[in-house]
């Protein structure tokens, strides 16, 4: 049922964001920002992205975050990269593992995307006061 | 020293490819194919990609493969994706984990790149007779 | 409920593909091909892509096909472009409108993506014997 | 003749921008900004993009705008997306149709490009005081 | 006048392709292939791409070919890359310069696009019997 | 030896940046910014990008800059484009040649990437007080 998917998605989202840190409400802020012109998109993110995809078994939260971060570095979509470096940290990736993953992409995306991604990571680490 | 980097890279490459399976010599075949027009590129792959980047500590072989696969799915460069699904399997990723990782990218790349990647994975699994 | 989304998606998919032409079973073939390694992906395509997104009101089938084709030309993902030029024709776009849409993208993607897309369109038009 | 193409392009551009709204002079501002280093580019936009491509028959202004917006969402080039959401509105697309078109792209580009595009749309709708 | 642009474009195109080698008629073949569904596109290539853009002063034929090849390697559009490695050779680039240019892109696009481009170059060099 | 690669890279980097202009220290600033979270990346840029790739013979500094700029325009990675328009000027490209190269890309990337790149070029030319 749709309510179940929504609840699954919300629970899963909470696993990635429910911390005493700065990223708790970022996803919700995105939802609110689009509430007036595209209210269904927030629902699709929770039901489909988190309820259907993230909720799947077979891959740990850490690995899902790692896969997501790698795609966002490659696409160069920096606002989402910032969000998912945050969820990656909450899911248990260490700052060092995130940095290593971005560096691992040098042979595959070249230096520019990697340098821009490292600057995003540096900013997130400073906001969360981790390193 | 450069010899050391080359040796580090070659050792690391062997970790990802030295199996009794079909992918052992793919990297070497690429090198041979470009031996006449661009002999240094094979050297850069071993020295820089494997000797400098893959050789780093801080991320397991499995995770490096996962990060690489995620980038290649996002770029849609299928010949390299085929190669690195092979190295991912050799590094210890299970077919299920590789499939889950590709599915995890649906919310980030859309369905087309994911469908094309799953077809590449299916082909590699059949060649290696795993699932 | 999930069954309802699936049914909505399947109905919507039929609108785009149920013709006496060659593309009827392409989507189903994709599903079958991935049945063994990623059975859920076919379900997501029907439930999410067709049941949630295509099923929405506010945009005609023709326009949804037009938007989709434009994105696929821009990404250069040709297997999916072939499929959606087919669904576009079934949804009521004329061959001329599809060609004009691809030509409209020259200032935005450059000539290479457009030339490759026109070759795909030409092949589909020949298969369906339309022009 | 070239003068004719230029006039055709300018007339066509006016159809997309001549309103009592805020976007009237955006294209001209771009031209002025590049007048010193690349004066011909403004000419190519008017002669080629608008005079040759947009001026073609076979596709309505609305559909051309829709195709263009879909490509720009997919590329993630936000300054141009802002401009063409404006021209889309002037060409007759409703805010709802533009939002629906961007949502239609979730299965093809993933959520990140779509979220960034919806934020651009929200900003344009606010500037033009439409919804 | 338009006739002048077409003639300029055709003359310029001939400079890039009129040799005793294999690539002479490739551009014309592309035009013929699209003659039935999109006859204007061949005209736009000659009038706009060659007549307006390539015809400009300020950059030598060799450099224009170099810039074009670099973009096509980055986009991964291989059919066009094959064509423009041919025009690059005709414009006076040596095989070694083309190979060096592709290698120069490793830090900017990563290895996959470069490896695929080198394979295209190798094929073209063999067809033209140069190295 | 690694020290030799580093020195080669640093010497080569100096050729591209050692002027009485504003870009001298940009590369070094990038290195410093990442010194705390990813100190090795600065080393890879100097050793691999400049020491291995830029240091190669077979292509002039000007041409390497041209190839690099063309790739960055195509990728739309503007921070790096700004840097390499600077290194291109230092390597001997004239502002006019850089503008012409960006214009040459219109048929290959479309107008949006070109317009954004020309704005970056305009900013760099103003900073260096050249035209």
E57 touches D: beta carbon within 8 Å: no
pLDDT at A26: 67
Q: In percent, how much of chain C has pLDDT > 90?
A: 72
A40 touches chain C (CB under 8 A): yes
The pLDDT of residue A25 is 57
CA distance D21 to chain A (A): 20
Contacts of E39 in chain D (CB under 8 A): none
Min Cα–Cα distance to chain A from B88, Å? 13
Q: What is the pLDDT of residue B1?
A: 55
Same domain, A121 and A74: yes
H helices within chain E, ranges in order? 2-17, 26-33, 39-44, 61-75, 78-91, 95-104, 106-109, 111-128
User: What are the chain A neighbours of C47 within 8 Å (beta carbons)?
Assistant: 52
d(CA C120, CA D36): 41
| Domain shared by B51 and B64, yes or no | no
**pTM (2 decimals)?**
0.93
> Does residue E27 surpass a pLDDT of 60?
yes
Tokens of B45: 């792959």
Domain boundary among C29, C56, C83: C56
**DSSP string covering A73-103:** HHHT-HHHHHHHHHHHHHTT--HHHHHHHHH
E104 contact B CB<8A: no
Is there a contact between D56 and D48 (Cβ–Cβ < 8 Å)? no
pLDDT reported for residue C25? 58
Counting as low any pLDDT under 50, the low residues of chain B are: 20, 23-24
Cα distance from A94 to chain E (closest Cα, Å)? Answer: 25
Q: Phi first, then psi: what are they for C25, rounded to 5°?
A: -100, 10
Residue C110 to residue F107, Cβ atoms within 8 A: yes
Report the C-alpha gap between A1 and E129 in whole angstroms.
64
Nearest to E102 by CA among E87, E130, E81: E81
Residue B113, domain CATH? 1.20.1290.10
What pLDDT was estimated at residue E3?
A: 83
Task: Give the C-alpha separation, C67 to F106, whole Å.
Answer: 23
Mutate to test the interface with F, among A99, A115, A118 (most CBs of F within 10 A): A115
Same domain, E128 and E91: yes
pLDDT of A116 above 70 = yes
pLDDT in tens, E73-112: 999 999 999 999 999 999 999 999 999 999 999 999 999 9
Query: Which of B26, B38, B6 has the alpha carbon at shortest distance from B84?
Result: B26
Q: Which residues of B touch A70 (CB under 8 A)?
A: 66-68, 70-71, 74
For D70-81, the pLDDT digits (tens) are 999 999 999 999
Helix (H, G, I), strand (E, B) or coil at A115: helix
Task: Lowest mean pLDDT of C62-71, C108-117, D34-43, name the range.
Answer: D34-43
Sign of CA dihedral D1, D3, D7, D10: positive
> How many domains is chain E built from?
2
Domain edge (last residue) among B37, B56, B75: B56
Chain D: touching chains (3 or more CB pairs < 8 Å): A, B, C, E, F
Alpha carbon distances (Å) from C31 to A52, B70, B119, C85, E74: 18, 22, 11, 19, 32
Say yes or no: E28 and E91 in one domain. no
Closest residue on chain B to D114 (Cα) = B108
Residue B121 and residue B82 in one domain? yes
Residue D74 contacts B where some CB pair is shorter than 8 Å: no
Mean pLDDT across chain A: 90
| Pairwise CB contact (< 8 Å): E52 & D48 | yes
Are the beta carbons of B108 and D106 separated by less than 8 Å?
no
CA distance E51 to chain D (A): 12
Whole-angstrom Cα distance, residue A7 to residue A9? 5
Q: Which domain holds residue C84?
A: 60-131
- Compare F33 and A61 and report the one with higher pLDDT: A61
F65, F49: one domain: no
Looking at the complex, does the CB of residue A110 fall below 8 Å from at least one CB of chain E?
yes
- Euclidean distance between CA atoms B119 and E27, whole angstroms: 33
pLDDT per residue as tens, chain F (131 positions)? 578 889 998 899 888 886 645 544 566 677 778 989 999 999 999 999 999 999 999 999 999 999 999 999 999 999 999 999 999 999 999 999 999 999 999 999 999 999 999 999 999 999 999 97
pLDDT at F19: 62
Per-residue model confidence (pLDDT) at position B46 = 92
Between chains, do D66 and C68 touch, taking CB under 8 Å as contact? no
E20 compared with B100, residue with greater pLDDT? B100
Considering B35, B56, B77, which residue would you say is the last residue of a domain? B56
Of E76, E116, E121, Cβ closest to residue B37 = E121
Residue that is written with structure tokens 């994105």 in the block: C71
Separation CA B38–CA B32 (nearest Å): 10
> Is the pLDDT higher at D3 or at A43?
A43
pLDDT of residue E131: 78
pLDDT at A127: 92
> Does any CB of chain A come closer than 8 Å to the CB of residue E31?
no
With an 8 Å Cβ cutoff, is B108 touching chain A?
yes
Same-domain pairing of A36 and A83 = no
Q: E42 — contact with chain C (CB < 8 Å)?
A: no
Using a CB-CB distance cutoff of 8 angstroms, which residues of chain F are in contact with residue E103?
53, 56
Contact F111 C107 (CB under 8 A): yes
The shortest C-alpha distance from D66 to chain A (Å) reads: 18
CA distance C68 to chain B (A): 11
Same domain for E44 and E68, yes or no, is no
Q: Tell me if E95 and B33 make a contact (CB, 8 A cut-off).
A: no
Q: What is the pLDDT of residue B25?
A: 58
> Are residues F112 and F78 located together in one domain of the fold?
yes
E72 & E127 share domain: yes
CA separation for the pair A25, C12 (Å, rounded):
35
E58 touches chain A (CB under 8 A): no
Rg (CA), chain B: 15
**pLDDT tens-digit series, residues D40-62:** 999 999 999 999 999 999 999 99
Write out F35-67 in H/E/C secondary structure. CCCCHHHHHHHHHHHHHHHHCCCCCCHHHHHHH
**CA separation for the pair D59, C97 (Å, rounded):** 6
Residue B62 pLDDT: 96
Neighbours of E55 (CB within 10 A): 17
**At residue E1, does pLDDT exceed 80?**
no
Chains interfacing with B (3 or more CB pairs < 8 Å) = A, C, D, E, F
Average the pLDDT over each of C96-110, D87-101, F11-25 and give the range with the smallest value.
F11-25
**CB atoms closer than 10 angstroms to residue B27:** 22
- Orientation angle between helical segments C111-128 and C78-91, nearest 10 degrees: 50
Residues D66 and D20 placed together within one structural domain of the fold: no
Q: Determine the Cα–Cα distance for residues A69 and A81; give it in Å rounded to an integer.
A: 6
Contact A116 F40 (CB under 8 A): no
Average pLDDT over residues A54-77: 96
The pLDDT mean for chain C works out to 90
> Any CB–CB contact under 8 A between E37 and chain D?
no
Q: Which residues of B touch A74 (CB under 8 A)?
A: 70-71, 74-75
Query: Which residue is closest to E105 within chain A, CA to CA?
Result: A110
Collect all residues of chain D within an 8 Å Cβ-Cβ radius of residue F102: 38
Answer whether C128 touches E (CB < 8 Å): no
> CB distance F63–E109 less than 8 Å?
no
CB nearest A33 (choices: D76, D119, D125): D119
The yes-or-no verdict on residue C92 having pLDDT over 80 is yes
Does residue C126 share a domain with residue C69? yes
């Amino acid at each position: 049922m749709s309510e179940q998917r929504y609840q699954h998605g919300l629970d899963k989202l909470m696993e990635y964001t429910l911390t005493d840190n700065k990223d708790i409400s970022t996803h919700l802020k995105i939802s609110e920002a689009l509430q007036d012109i595209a209210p269904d998109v927030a629902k699709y993110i929770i039901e489909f992205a988190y309820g259907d995809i993230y909720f799947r078994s077979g891959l740990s939260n850490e690995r899902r975050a790692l896969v997501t971060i790698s795609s966002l570095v490659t696409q160069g979509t920096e606002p989402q990269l910032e969000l998912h470096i945050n969820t990656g940290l909450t899911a248990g990736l260490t700052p060092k593992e995130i940095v290593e993953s971005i560096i691992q992409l040098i042979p595959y995306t070249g230096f520019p995307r990697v340098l821009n991604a490292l600057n995003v990571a540096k900013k997130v680490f400073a906001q969360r006061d981790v390193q």
